[in-house]
A and B are shown apart, each in its own frame.
Chain A
């Protein structure tokens, strides 16, 4: 039984311990009208809004502590360095990594995947080798591997999904071969909301000695992640999808893997000594952090993690699970709606199409009603093709969304039918 279900059982369908109206006060942006109607923000899978704690942390950093880090002897530099490294410790605890040096700061999940493809990938993949991904990956977990495969003349294999949007695990089992050099898989599908069975996937891959990269861009905002318990080799996520600033993200890698990898970008901070004859690289994590990093972003990310942890990961998951269940049942009742993605385990994403109505028209009409959703292929064109649609409408939820907002979405969808039917 999942944590969500245990909690739902303990506390009923509307958890009393989670005061969403109070939480909404923490997000200044939510308090506005769009096209004359109170904003209903349901595009959280694209980016989440930021609590005041994060906005304040970034502002405070620039107002009081801004300096370049790691090399300065003066007070500001020391403070900035301390804040930067203490946020790394926060991320380490958040992911349950063994050491802070396993936490590499990058721009986002995309850069994390590219880093692994260009370092681990280029060092370990040769002609004739195979890489395994799944049919539900975001383009950012497809294209970096395609580039690598082109360069190395390796093969990209794809695990299919079934009609409900779940991975075909028996096919995955078959596609993991002695030639497979890495398996890359989304924790949670951005277009369908499917939560993939990461534990089982890692076990399958590790049984054959194959490392696993998990794209956690849609995972960390909604689920507790324990890279140690799951024995994950690489985990990437973006700060801005989990209430942190844009332009900051994390690559977690097991220390032994990171140490064996060649550097990614070259520059300052990633070296321990440079002569024109020979450069020695810095130790982890600095080896992978060339140049002045996004210190304010890191500080903001640390604040976002602390914010979510104060609310309680299990509380957030439980509340969101309840909201998704409610939304699924309400939206399904709108005539002509067909859900895309009906996996048993889902998180925070409701993708759907309406008979005879293009998602783009749905998006425009909902926007007029103050309801922000995403329409299109969600950077997952192969997945859209799999389901025989060119696009879907996607409502995605965050910890500040309410049942009343789901009702506004449903009212909006009825209006869509009124206008276009």
Chain B
């Protein structure tokens, strides 16, 4: 049976209550909007790029505890990374929340993000955990249309 405590870890709840980098970024070179039409979650991700490095990143919007905490922790973990590193991190994060990671590489470079491992037991919540990441990808690719999880 899936365990609630593994989904709603203290660190996740803390980020959901007080999200980091929660603001508009006036200097953003890229921005994208992400939308989950099933639950109405909606986020805007702002990215400031220097060379190919994410110099600053911020987000705004509304969503559930999982999507908001994920957006907050994403901004912390990709700041200072190159676009390529951020993309690689998303792939590893995606594998984590969809349960495709084996036990030994659970932590592979994910750091604090491994707190989202409990999401794998709640398949309907994967979209919540990945919404901000999909939006970041769209922002970096300069996509003009809002990304949707559907």
Contact = CB atoms under 8 A, between A and B. Distances in A.
Interface string A392-421: 000000000000000000000000000110
Interface in B1-27: 1-2, 4, 7-8, 13, 17
B127 to A, nearest CB: 10
B13 A420 contact: yes
Contact of A368 (B2, B41, B62, B65): B2
Contact of B4 (A358, A375, A377, A419): A419
Contacts of B17: 356
B38 interface: yes
A96 B36 CA distance: 42
A368 B64 contact: no
A357 B1 CA distance: 24
A421 to B, nearest CB: 9
B51 to A, nearest CB: 37
A375 B39 contact: yes
Given A361-B66, A420-B13, A391 B40 contact: yes
A390 B40 contact: yes
Contacts of A36: 1
B86 to A, nearest CB: 26
Interface in A361-400: 361, 364-365, 368, 375-377, 381, 384, 390-391
Interface residues of B, number: 22
A359 interface: yes
Contact of B40 (A35, A384, A419): A384
Specify which of A36, A361, A365, A384 lies most central, judged by the most chain B CB atoms within 10 Å of its CB: A361
Contacts of A364: 4, 7, 122, 124-125
B122 A377 contact: no
A58 to B, nearest CB: 29
A60 interface: no
B63 interface: yes
Interface of B: 1-2, 4, 7-8, 13, 17, 38-42, 62-66, 68, 122, 124-125, 128
A414 to B, nearest CB: 14
Contacts of A358: 39, 41, 62-65, 68
Contacts of B4: 364-365, 368, 419
B64 A35 contact: no
Contacts of B125: 360, 364
B66 A35 contact: no
Contact of B62 (A35, A376, A381, A390): A390
24 contacts: A35-B2, A358-B39, A358-B63, A358-B64, A360-B39, A360-B66, A360-B125, A360-B128, A361-B8, A361-B64, A364-B7, A364-B124, A365-B4, A368-B4, A375-B39, A376-B40, A377-B39, A377-B40, A381-B40, A390-B42, A419-B4, A419-B8, A420-B13, A420-B65
A390 B41 contact: yes
A361 B42 CA distance: 15
A377 B128 CA distance: 15
A39 to B, nearest CB: 15
A368 B64 CA distance: 17
B1 A376 contact: no
Contact of A35 (B1, B63, B65, B124): B1
Nearest to B63: A358
Contact of B65 (A361, A375, A390): A361
Contacts of B62: 358, 390
**Top 8 A-B pairs, shortest CB-CB distance:** A390-B40, A358-B64, A360-B64, A391-B40, A360-B39, A361-B65, A361-B64, A376-B39
A242 to B, nearest CB: 25
Interface string A221-238: 000000000000000000
Contacts of B13: 420
A281 to B, nearest CB: 39
